[in-house]
Structure 1
Amino acid sequence: MTDPLFEVIDATWPAASVRQAGGFLIREGRGGGSRVSAASLIGRLEEADIDTAIAAQRSLGQEPKFMLRPGEDALDAALADRGFEAFDPVVILTADLAALPREVPPVTAFAHWPPLAIAREIWAENGIGAERQAIIERARGPKAVVLGRTRDRAAGAAFVALHDRTAMLHALVVAPEFRRLGLGRAIMAEACRWAHDAGATRMALVVTKANAAALALYRDIGLQPVCAYHYRREARP
């Protein structure tokens, strides 16, 4: 059975559209990254369905990509046999909100909606462009942007949304010149405070295994790895 956290990911960081092709869910990403454009298995694995999924993705103008979740070893092996390369291994971390810090230092972070222009600017300057910001707009249900401030200026931003009493954090960025000043921790605390007030009981997030600094911060706060997955795409020259 697929971990319910994947439902939370899809709900809080939604694709532009989804449809079924054979035994796969096809996501239309519109340039928003792998998480909203990779196909995932939703039925019994049939070799012919892989071709169907590849064709469906190409019909959307997307590079064929697949999300490989725990227990999908057969699909992983089948794609490897086709020459699809693995990339972007990630970890899902989670914790009960009651165990996470919710005390926010004064004038360091505040949750709001809709996004302020300065939050959009910070995202755009730190790799969260218009295509990913469109994902934030698509998310339904309770949601908020957290703006972070340090040294008397806005310097960080994050997005948090709620699904089935789990809050998931996305798009946390801190401007490079303001890192290692505790701003990421303050943004996380404000996200936890907002999520608690919105009725969530659990916090979750996704981070690449390569992002050692973020992993260290999240684990230090109290989040623990509970699940991992990766993607495969056609090998690039």
Structure 2
Amino acid sequence: MAPTPQELYRAVDRTWAPADVITEGPWTIRRGEGGGKRVSAATLNRRDIDDLSRAIEQAEEAMSGIGQEPLFMIRDGDALLDARLGAIGYRIVDPVTLFVASADRLSRMDHPDHSVIRCDAPLAIQRDIWAAGGVGPERIAAMERVTAPKTFLLARCDNQPAACAFIAADGDVTMLHAMEVAPRFRRRGLGRLVTAAAAEWAMEQGSGWLSLLATRANTAANGLYRAMGMEAAAQYHYRQRQTQPPRDR
């Protein structure tokens, strides 16, 4: 059976790690240290709250207390929170779709015959490819903090480093993060190659499913994942009051 949205949210949490996690009343507060919205947003842990407005204030105070602007992640089941935040001036930012497919099927899809190596830690060339795509050291630190089984992928094309990605396993779900193809190697099937390599690794970890995510605005990525037969299985978006750093996945 395919993973539920809640299982996918858990996999995202466990495979892209914040610098610190604080429980504050009904909230999980994350300290991101520049690692992106996923590791900086507050999420609601329970919904049996008598005074939602006061609970929101509690989260705002907690985030301000660690030097972060208030930022909320809205997941399936958070409709009341979403509406309340909208009513007090929080706007929607970066709607995200989580895609999922059978790891076995993805591992067998057609792809270019180039090599993909696995690295225990990010190589300098991987850091360079990521940096060119806007994935800086703070986001790489989020990868390095992950304690789940993980590896860093590097794909080669024409005997040159061409693409990279980070993958980590949470039980039956392996998450593929930060797939980046160097500009000169795009439109050569490397996205399919890296995804297939990630699926092979996922099966070795005992995961039956491979998942990844993309902002809805990233139409190229959404088209690629749908073309590979991946299905939209969950979604989330953020609510924030102020303009934040450039959008991220």
**CA displacement 1:130-150 (0-9 Å, x = unmatched):** 100001111112111111222
Question: CA deviation digits over 1:60-84, x for unaligned, max 9?
Answer: 1111100011121110111111101
Unpaired runs of 5+ residues, structure 2, are: 245-249
Counterpart mapping for 1:1-237 below 5 A: 3-44=6-47, 45=49, 46-102=52-108, 105-236=112-243
Preserved contact between residue 174 and residue 184 of structure 1 (Cα < 8 Å)? yes
Letter in structure 1 aligned against 2:104? A
- Kept after mapping to 2: 8 A contact 1:110/1:147: yes
Which amino acid is 1:129 matched to?
Answer: G
Report deviation, 1:236.
Answer: 4.2
The alignment's TM-score, normalised by the length of structure 1, stands at: 0.94
Greater mean deviation of Cα atoms: 47-56 or 101-110 = 101-110
- Report the CA distance between 1:13 and its aligned residue: 0.6
Residues in 2 aligned to 1:162 and 1:68: alpha-carbon distance in whole angstroms:
23
Point out where structure 1 has 5 or more consecutive residues left out of the alignment.
none
Q: Kindly provide the CA deviation profile for residues 183-207 of structure 1, in whole angstroms up to 9, marking residues without a partner as x.
A: 1111111111111122211111111
Q: Deviations over 1:202-225 (max 9, x none)?
A: 111111111111111111112100
Q: Quick one: which amino acid aligns to residue 20 of structure 1? A: T
Q: Using the alignment, how far apart are the partners of 1:102 and 1:35 within structure 2?
A: 31
Inter-partner Cα distance in structure 2 for 1:18 and 1:224:
30
Distance, in Å, in 1 between the alignment partners of 2:108 and 2:204 is: 10
Indicate the SS of the match to 1:90.
strand
* Counterpart-to-counterpart distance in 2, 1:219 and 1:197: 24
Q: TM-score, normalised by structure 2?
A: 0.90
- Whether the aligned pair in 2 keeps the contact of 1:108 and 1:183 (CA below 8 Å) is no
Tell me what 2:247 maps to: none
CA contact (8 A) 2:129 2:164 kept: yes
The CA RMSD over aligned residues, in Å, is 1.7
Q: Distance in 1 between matches of 2:242 and 2:87?
A: 11
Deviates more, 1:105-114 or 1:132-141: 105-114
Q: C-alpha deviations, 1:74-104, integer Å up to 9, x for none? A: 1011111110111100001111212213466
**Worse-matched range after superposition: 172-181 or 225-234:** 172-181
Equivalent residue of 2:6, what SS? coil
Q: Secondary structure at the match of 2:69?
A: coil
SS class of match (2:100): strand
Counterpart contact for 1:89–1:231, Cα < 8 Å? yes
- Determine if contact 1:111/1:190 at 8 Å carries over to the other structure: no
Report if aligned partners of 2:104, 2:200 keep a CA contact under 8 Å in 1: no
Q: Secondary structure at the match of 2:151?
A: strand
Say how many residue pairs are matched: 237
Structure 1 residues 115 and 102, CA gap change in structure 2 (3 angstroms) = farther
